[in-house]
Homo-oligomer: A and B are copies of this chain.
Amino acid sequence: VSITRVAIIGAGHIGASIARACALKLPDVRVALYDASEAVRARAREIALGEIAEAPQEAVRDADLVILCVPVGAMAAAYASVSAALKPGAILSDVGSVKGAVIAAIKPRDDVFFVPGHPLAGTEQSGPDAGLARLFENRWMIITPLADERLAYKQAAADLAAFWSALGANVDVMDPARHDVVLAVVSHLPHLIAYNIVAMAEDLEQVTESEVVKYSASGFRDFTRIAASDPIMWRDVFLNNKEAVLEMLGFFTEGLTALQRAIRLGDGAMLHETFARARRVRREIIEAGQDSAAINFGRDQKP
């Protein structure tokens, strides 16, 4: 990898994980971090995430690669805070879960190569302490290059891909609009649904929250993991991928309404047919190495 100095703007779960992954897999790469929160900077220093800068400009000075690791709605401001200090020829990237809106929000200098990206990795945890050196191993990193025909731009995209490969990720290249539609299905809609059912359980009058908690192992708990994800990050995802999310939500609601009707009319054949199909998808996900084959995600293993 020709990248020797990396700057990370935003020392949350993903930023901290990139720093940890670099320390493990690219020990010769120098990592500088900045976070807008003074408390986060102090904590990042305490747990030795890397060189912690007191100003964004300071973090990016001399960096070959600058990665914006902030919520999608904060990308434009994060870029503005470092733009003037970027080294000519630097690669600029990000980890936003939405690509179209980030590309629209960031208009980089001509002598900086902006290669947007999105690592499909993460957990329900947040903050600098949630940095995991192996978070990206065997996970997909999607790069959505701009329509920039310059040779140096192509080289920058290749360098970014090599960097993520070195961290253990499998790199895919995708069109930004396609990325936003695919992610609406595999990530954004599931999070919205999980948030909705968990929030709903709190509002019910017929069933108390403590009953929901007590009996949650019968299915409900599976939804609570992703519903524990960072609320600001997810607010920004939905505000910035509106069209694709609303379209997929439409499909989801149509399907749910058809199931509702089948329940009301007692149409067992329709219910059975729908339920039977879902089994196969689970098997395919396990075969693709994208989930554990262990029963119950392996979480209930007892001696």
Task: Tell whether, in the assembled complex, residue A223 and residue B263 are in contact, meaning their CB atoms are under 8 Å apart.
Answer: no
The minimal Cβ–Cβ distance linking A239 to chain B, given in whole angstroms, is 5
Once A194-B278, A299-B299 are accepted as A-B contacts, the answer to whether A206 and B227 lie under 8 Å apart by CB is no
A222 within 8 A of B: yes
Task: Tell whether, in the assembled complex, residue B272 and residue A231 are in contact, meaning their CB atoms are under 8 Å apart.
Answer: yes
10 residue pairs of the A-B complex, CB under 8 angstroms, read A181-B206, A194-B222, A196-B274, A198-B282, A202-B281, A209-B284, A216-B290, A219-B226, A224-B282, A236-B268
A291 within 8 A of B: yes
Task: Tell whether, in the assembled complex, residue B279 and residue A223 are in contact, meaning their CB atoms are under 8 Å apart.
Answer: no
Chain A residues packing against B (C-beta within 8 Å): 73, 120-125, 130, 132, 134, 137, 139-140, 181-183, 185-204, 206-207, 209, 211-229, 231-232, 234-236, 238-239, 242, 245-247, 249, 251-253, 255-256, 259-260, 262-264, 266, 268, 271-272, 274-279, 281-285, 288, 290-292, 294-300, 302
Partner of A281, one of B212, B215, B245, B271: B212
Task: Tell whether, in the assembled complex, residue A125 and residue B295 are in contact, meaning their CB atoms are under 8 Å apart.
Answer: yes
Task: Tell whether, in the assembled complex, residue A213 and residue B290 are in contact, meaning their CB atoms are under 8 Å apart.
Answer: yes
Task: Tell whether, in the assembled complex, residue A199 and residue B277 are in contact, meaning their CB atoms are under 8 Å apart.
Answer: yes
Q: How far is the CA of A137 from the CA of B303 in the complex (A)?
A: 12
Once A215-B186, A224-B285 are accepted as A-B contacts, the answer to whether A195 and B291 lie under 8 Å apart by CB is no
Q: Which residues of B contact A227 (CB under 8 A)?
A: 275, 278-279, 281-282
Q: Which residues of B contact A187 (CB under 8 A)?
A: 215, 218-220
Q: Which residues of B contact A229 (CB under 8 A)?
A: 275
Residue of B nearest to A184 (CB): B207
Task: Tell whether, in the assembled complex, residue B215 and residue A182 are in contact, meaning their CB atoms are under 8 Å apart.
Answer: yes
The minimal Cβ–Cβ distance linking A98 to chain B, given in whole angstroms, is 12
Task: Tell whether, in the assembled complex, residue B200 and residue A252 are in contact, meaning their CB atoms are under 8 Å apart.
Answer: yes
Task: Tell whether, in the assembled complex, residue A137 and residue B220 are in contact, meaning their CB atoms are under 8 Å apart.
Answer: no
Q: Which residues of B contact A190 (CB under 8 A)?
A: 197, 219-220, 222-223
Q: Which residues of B contact A120 (CB under 8 A)?
A: 215, 217-218
